[in-house]
Amino acid sequence: MSDPFRLDGRVAAVIGAGSGIGRAVAIGAARQGAAVACLDADADAARRVAETIGSGASAAVLDIRDGAAVAETLGGVAARGGLDIVVCTPGVNVRKPLLDYSAAEFDRVVDLNLRGSFNVLQAAGRLMVPRGHGSIVLFSSIRALVVEPGQSVYAMTKAGIVQLVRAAAAEFGPHAVRVNAVAPGVVETPLTAPIRANAEWYGAYANKSVLKRWATAEEMAGPTLFLCSDAASYVTGTVLFADGGWTAADGRFTPPSA
């Protein structure tokens, strides 16, 4: 392979492409040579990203909570030019103590994060498995592994995504379809805007990572596109933590030298 990281000749459907990590992944995939379908619940945002990319990019509206719409939209992408890569980035969080959670809030988080990811995984798998190739990347989080007060339902869904990825990798692997997850730490996206608006909260999160800063959305594109590429041809069923060392370091106190 002259450059195993390139995506020339491949078609990538990026869900959540209208903003944040999804936008960065869509633009990054195009720069690596892929034809990109920009899919988002916000049709105008998806169109703007496709226009930014230019040649080879398309845009469509998609709400991943609607399983039939997911199947139809991904099927349409595949029918027009094939489907080699599917990346699913959307997520929602209601930060609230577990005892204060309402049934409607529970359903809102689970419906998008978990059911939506399942819908994408199932629809992409049904297209890729018969063709015998493909790469699917879902988005988990550090919250699949470590939690804090107010993160109960979000953390549950992100841990669930990890198990979906592992099960799908086991089932799709014999058909040469790889399934992986990216688990970001704190990233500057619309989802984290309430945290960024609070200087003390923002600083506490920055200091928790060993790099002492937040990630940009663009810094999530590299890990994601690695998993999509031939450079990761023997990588499936795994979770790639792109968290600035958040989950590696336990505690903040450095003991004095002996």
Q: Which residues are catalytic?
A: 154
What is the number of helices (H) and of strands (E) in the chain?
A: 9, 9
| Eight-state DSSP code of residue 57 | -
Confirm if 115 and 65 have CB atoms less than 8 A apart.
yes
Q: What is the CA radius of gyration of the chain?
A: 18
Q: Minimal CA–CA distance to 241: which of 145, 109, 149?
A: 145
Q: Is 242 left (phi over 0), alpha (psi -120 to 50) or beta?
A: beta
Q: What is the residue-wise DSSP string for 78-135?
A: HHHH---EEEE---------GGG--HHHHHHHHIIIIIHHHHHHHHHHHHHHHHT-EE
Number of Cβ within a 10 Å radius of residue 63: 17
Whole-angstrom distance, CA of residue 63 vs CA of residue 181: 20
| Eight-state DSSP code of residue 9 | T
Q: Minimal CA–CA distance to 131: which of 194, 176, 81, 197?
A: 176
- 4 exposed, middle or buried (CB, 10 Å; 0-12, 13-18, 19+)? exposed
